[in-house]
Structure formats: structure tokens, C-alpha cells
Amino acid sequence: MKLSELSLLLERNGFSNQVEAKEDPDLVGVNTLGNAGRGELSFLTNPKYREQLWETRASAAIVELEEPAPDGLPVLRCDNPYGAVAAAIKLIHGTRIHPAWGRDPRAIVAESARIGEGANIGPYVYIDEEVVIGHHATLYPGCYIGRGAILGDHVTCYPNVVIYDGSRLGSRVTLHAGTVVGEDGLGYAKVNDRWEKIPQAGWAVIEDDVEMGANCCIDRATLGQTVVGAGTKFSDAVVIGHGTQVGKHGMFVAQTGLAGSVTVGENVTMGGQVGVAGHLSIGDNVVIGAKSGVWSDIPADERYFGSPAFKWKQFWKQVAAVQKLPELIRKLHRLEAEVAALRKERRGDD
């Protein structure tokens, strides 16, 4: 694909751009600035790697509109270079093609299950009674779909995904290997010094265009429903507790865990290993830094970090104060020594 052709395709996909180039190179792949070679497109989206733009061996690069670039390097300027790169990868490399099993004879499908047109059911998949699966769904080997579950159109479940009974998935949902939807939440009541299980009578709902990495777990609600909002993306090993409501278009990085009955707004981003205590509310457009521990509500449009989590600026003030502690301790020791000497001198005068 020529750089000029890529520019036109990106324009059609909603990424306005302009090309600055003395030549029109052929592009056969996309790679990072440090690893790109001849015939590959690269990109600069993080100023941390700006120096690499001047050293790259790529044949072209996607950059921001005002980003300086070395002479001789063809560049495609765009106001959203990261989004343009994502589109370019799809255009140049294509997307993953699923195996074409149709309905593999080794799959077990209950008589009352309804399977949509063009569904792709792999070997050793188990589909229970009263399940509804939409058109062009793909279920990889080892998937289990429990009684009464509903899966929308173009759903993809990679190997060993488990969908418990009554769970509901929208259209274009992708669940990677080992992810579980609708298992029982942590519901127990203390009775006579023993834990008695509270039946988890609710269900789990995954709305349209959600993608989850490997080994995520979404608890069903005790009553009502646990919801993951449309367009939300999870990395691996994300855990959502029972009755929690996650808004649309969130981004949760690996090993993030939300306890039960949490309410999360739209466009919320949580870094890796964030932990959120139960029954809290997190507003729209919140960003929470990695390894933060959230113990109280967070209003909309805020950035929080730390454990316990504080507002971003307040956290860094605390970090700065901690960095000064060694010198403050040394000063304290000097003052203590001076006070001791003065007391000794005063006793001598007496």
C-alpha cells in the first residue's frame, strides 16, 4: 500500500490528515520507531520517544499536526495520531480471521437452543437449554454457555470462556480465553459464627462492543444485574463484583478489581491493579492511576492516585514531602543534639 493510498483510506475512516513527502513509499507493515525498517510505517504518539523519530529507519511515520520531523522522512500529519495508527494497522495488517467450523459435530448443542445464521461453533463447545446465540457468533473450543444465556450478533468467545446461566451479552462482544461471566458473587451472611451462602439470584449483562482480556471475572448480582457498559475495554484479570454498574466506554487495565455494588460513570480509566471498595460511586471521566486503592467516592472529571487514593496534585505533593523526610530527620537529630547540649550546659551553670 502506498502512503498516499493509506492517507485516502484514513480520510474515509474519519481521520483527516495531510501528507508531507518527497516520495510515495510502499508500506507493508506497521512497527515501533525503534524497530521499524524499510517498508514499514511507524508513529509518534508519546513525546518520550521523540528522539527516536529522528533515528528511525521507517519508510514513513504518523505524527501530530505540529510535530517537527527530520528532512527526508515522509510523514502523515493527523490531529489524532494514535487513532490513525490503530486504523492503519487494520488497513495494512488486516484483522484476525476466525476458523470456519460451521457447527462442529463434536459440539454439544441442546435441542431448545437457538443458533443464529452463520454461527461458528467449535469442537467441544457445550450449549445448554434455552440459549439464544445471534448471527455470526464464534465460539472457540471448550466454551460453555449456560442455560438461558443470550449472546448477540458477532460475539466472539475464545477458548474456555464460561457464560453462566441467564447471562446476557450484546452484539460484537469479544471475550478472551478463560473469561467467566455470571459466576456467583461473594455473598455470605454470618449466622451463628458460620458463613451462610446468600443465593445469587441476579444475572450479569455485558453490553454491545465490550472486549475483555483473558481470565476476567464478572459476578452475577445478588438481586438485579451486574452491568458492563457498551464500548468498555478490559485488559487481563479484571474482576467486577456483584451488582456493580460500569458505565460506557471505560478502560480498565490488568488486575483491576471492583468490589460489589460500585457505580462507575462513563469514560472512566483505571490503571493496573486498582482496587475499589464496595458501595462507592465514581463519576464520569475519572482517571485513577495504577495500584491506587479507592476507599471513598470520587466526583466526575477528577484524577486520583495512591493508596488511599488522593487527587493527583495532592498525591504528588505528598510524594515530594516524603522525599524531603531524610533531610528533615537529619535536621531533627541535629536539633535534638543541640537541645541536649544546651540542657547539659544549663545544668552545669546551676
Q: Is the dihedral of CA 177, 182, 185, 187 positive or negative?
A: negative
Give first-to-last CA distance, the chain, whole Å. Answer: 95
Please tell me the distance from the alpha carbon of residue 120 to that of residue 10, in angstroms, as a whole number.
31
Alpha helices in the chain (DSSP H): 3-12, 50-53, 81-93, 312-323, 325-349
Is there a contact between 206 and 155 (Cβ–Cβ < 8 Å)? no
CA distance 75 to 244: 45
Of the residues 136, 242, 249, 279, which is catalytic? 242
Is 98 a known active-site residue?
A: no
Which one-letter DSSP state was computed for residue 2? B
Q: Could you tell me how many residues make up the chain? A: 350
CA distance 190 to 192: 7
Residue type (1 letter), 276:
V
Enzyme catalytic residues: 242
